[in-house]
Amino acid sequence: MSKHTDAAADVLLEKKGCAGVITLNRPKFLNALTLNMIRQIYSQLKKWEQDPETFLIIIKGAGGKAFCAGGDIRVISEAEKAKQNIAPVFFREEYMLNNAVGSCQKPYVALIHGITMGGGVGLSVHGQFRVATEKCLFAMPETAIGLFPDVGGGYFLPRLQGKLGYFLALTGFRLKGRDVYRAGIATHFVDSEKLAMLEEDLLALKSPSKENIASVLENYHTESKIDRDKSFMLEEHMDKINSCFSANTMEEIIENLKQDGSSFALEQLKVINKMSPTSLKITLRQLMEGSSKTLQEVLTMEYRLSQACMRGHDFHEGVRAVLIDKDQSPKWKPADLKEVTDEDLNNHFKSLGSNDLKF
C-alpha cells in the first residue's frame, strides 16, 4: 500500500488493492474543500487514470458525519474582501476537477455517506457510481448565500425527473438517505453498516471491469434494507413541482405557487422569499440553458457566473449572514425580484474573453 500523504493531511491519496482511494480528511470542517485539496485530487486522479494497475477510483469522507459539505467559501469571501484574488483560481480549478470526474476513464465510485452539499456534490454526481447511505444528506443550498448551484449543477439538475432539479436548485431542499437514490442523484443505496464491507469487496477485486464493479454495487444495493418499502418523499408533490416550476421566469413560478395554495406550495414560497433575488434569477436561467449543454459548456457558463457573483454584493452578504455572523438575516441588494433587470442577468452570463474557463 503506498501513501502520498501524512496523517495530518487534508486529503489522503492511497493505492489499495486494485483501487486508488481518495479520503477527504477535514472532519472538523465537514470535509469542506480547499484549493490545496482540489489540486492534490486533480493531479492524483490524472495519474491513476494513466496507471494500468489502477482499475477503479473510490472517493469518501473521513469522520462519518460528512462526505463533503462543499467548497470552503468562507475563506474565498474573506480573501476577496482582503483583495487577495483567490476566487478566480479556486473556481477555475474546482470546475476543472468536476470535469475530470465527469470524464474519468476509470470507474469512479463516490461513497456519499453523511452531508453531501455544493462542492461535495461536484466531486460525486458526475462520476459513474454514487453510493448513498441512510445518513446521506444532499442539498444544493447556494441561493441562500447569494450564489447559484454550481460545480456542474446546471448540467445534472435539469436532467433529473420532471422539474425536480429546478425545485432543488431554487429552494435548496434537502434530500435524505434512500431519497437521494430515488431522485436519481445516487446510482445505488447501501445500509451504512455495510459500507466498510462494500469497500473491502471492491478493493479485493482482481483487475475488475466496469461490469464487475457494477455487479458488486448491485448486490449490496439489492440487499439493503433501510427504508426499502417507503416511497419517495416528494412523490406526492411531484405533480405540483412539475407544474409550478415549469415556468420560464421566477415571477411566474412564484405566481404558480401562490395560485396552487397548498401547504406544500406555500411552504416553498416562504423558502424562496428568503433567497437572494439575483441568485434565483441566475439559477433559473443557468438550469434552462444547461439543459441542452455538455458538462464542459455548463462549467464554462458557471465560471462566468461565479466571477460575476464575486464582483457583486449578495455572495459576500450571504456568507456573512449564514457562515460568519450567523444571524441568518441577509440584506440582499436588490431586495426584490423585479429590481433584478435583464441587463443585470445578461452581465452575469457574459463571456470573460481570454479569462473564460477552457478545457
Cell numbers representing residue 308 in the block: 460575476
Query: Is the Cβ–Cβ distance between 127 and 101 less than 8 Å?
Result: yes
**Residue 303 phi, psi dihedral angles, 5° rounding:** -65, -40
Query: Residue 1 has what pLDDT?
Result: 45
Percent of the chain past pLDDT 90, that is, above it, reads 93
Taking the alpha carbons of 338, 343, 344, 350 in that order, is the dihedral positive or negative?
positive
Fold assignment, 11-355 = 2-enoyl-CoA Hydratase; Chain A, domain 1 (3.90.226)
Out of 67-76, 233-242, 300-309, 328-337, pick the least confident: 67-76
With a CB cutoff of 8 Å and minimum separation 6, the contacts of 191 are 133, 134, 224, 225, 226
Kindly state the average pLDDT of the residues 134-140: 98
| Domain chopping of the chain, boundaries | 11-355
pLDDT-based confidence at 5, cuts 50/70/90? very low
Kindly state the average pLDDT of the residues 302-322: 96
The catalytic residue positions are 71, 119, 142, 150
d(CA 308, CA 348): 5
Question: What mean pLDDT, rounded, does the chain reach?
Answer: 95
With 70 as the cut, is the pLDDT of residue 205 above it?
yes
Q: What's the predicted TM-score (pTM) here?
A: 0.95
pLDDT-based confidence at 80, cuts 50/70/90? confident
Cell numbers representing residue 330 in the block: 441577509
pLDDT-based confidence at 8, cuts 50/70/90? low
Query: Residue 262 has what pLDDT?
Result: 96
Kindly state the average pLDDT of the residues 197-219: 97
Query: Residue 7 has what pLDDT?
Result: 44
